Structures are given as C-alpha cells and as structure tokens.
Amino acid sequence: GQNIDQPTEMTATEGAIVQINCTYQTSGFNGLFWYQQHAGEAPTFLSYNVLDGLEEKGRFSSFLSRSKGYSYLLLKELQMKDSASYLCAVRVSNDYKLSFGAGTTVTVRA
C-alpha cells in the first residue's frame, strides 16, 4: 500500500508564511501533487512536482526530494482565504490514479 503523511493542522497569521510537509513511501513514483480544498467544495489543483527542486507559482511554491520521499508546500503572504485543507497526493504509475494523504487543515488568523 501507499503511505503518505502530513500534519493534521497548522495555524498561522495573516501575512505570514506556512510550510506544509509531506512524506511518502509508495510502490512507485510518477509525480507529486498538492491540492487545496475549501470546506464543502471539491479539491482544486495547486502544484505538481516530478523532478527534484522547487516549483514556484505566485504565492505558492512546492518542493520535492525524491531520494528522501519528501515534499513541502510553501504558502507566502497568507490571506484569510487561504484557510483550507491542503492535500498531498502521489501518482505511482502512468495510469493517472492518485493516492492522497489525509490533508492538513490550515487556519489563517487575523
């Protein structure tokens, strides 16, 4: 089976930076994804890493180290609307299926 771990909850202040870590042990690896999910809504795609290194997209960045089985999602200049659950997911083969971590609930406080 797949094992994907991420913290359950994180709290940060508006304007600050938060880093959400994800470690994985999977039977294969064909990409790591981060999704954002607001309460009562479907997950929306944030980022994708398949090679080692940092991918930056506006206020959000994602990092991958395949040798360590480790990724993080960095959220900068936090806004209240960033309060959501952030899901780490791994694609283990070429068949598009994703295995998800349990998600990290981020609460942004004024």
Partner 1 sequence: SAVISQKPSRDICQRGTSLTIQCQVDSQVTMMFWYRQQPGQSLTLIATANQGSEATYESGFVIDKFPISRPNLTFSTLTVSNMSPEDSSIYLCSHPVGGRSNEQFFGPGTRLTVL
Which residues contact partner 1 by CB under 8 A? 31, 33, 40-45, 48, 50, 87, 89, 95-103
The rounded distance, in Å, linking the Cα atoms of 28 and 96 is 12
Give the shortest CB-15-to-partner 1 separation in angstroms: 28
Give the shortest CB-19-to-partner 1 separation in angstroms: 20
Give the shortest CB-26-to-partner 1 separation in angstroms: 14
The rounded distance, in Å, linking the Cα atoms of 52 and 18 is 21
Give the shortest CB-109-to-partner 1 separation in angstroms: 21
Residue with Cβ nearer partner 1 (104 or 108): 104
Name the 3-class secondary structure at 82.
Answer: helix
Residue with Cβ nearer partner 1 (67 or 94): 94
Q: Go through the chain and tell me how many residues it has.
A: 110
Residue with Cβ nearer partner 1 (17 or 41): 41
For residue 106, count CB atoms less than 10 angstroms from its CB and return exposed for 0-12, middle for 13-18, buried for 19 or more.
buried
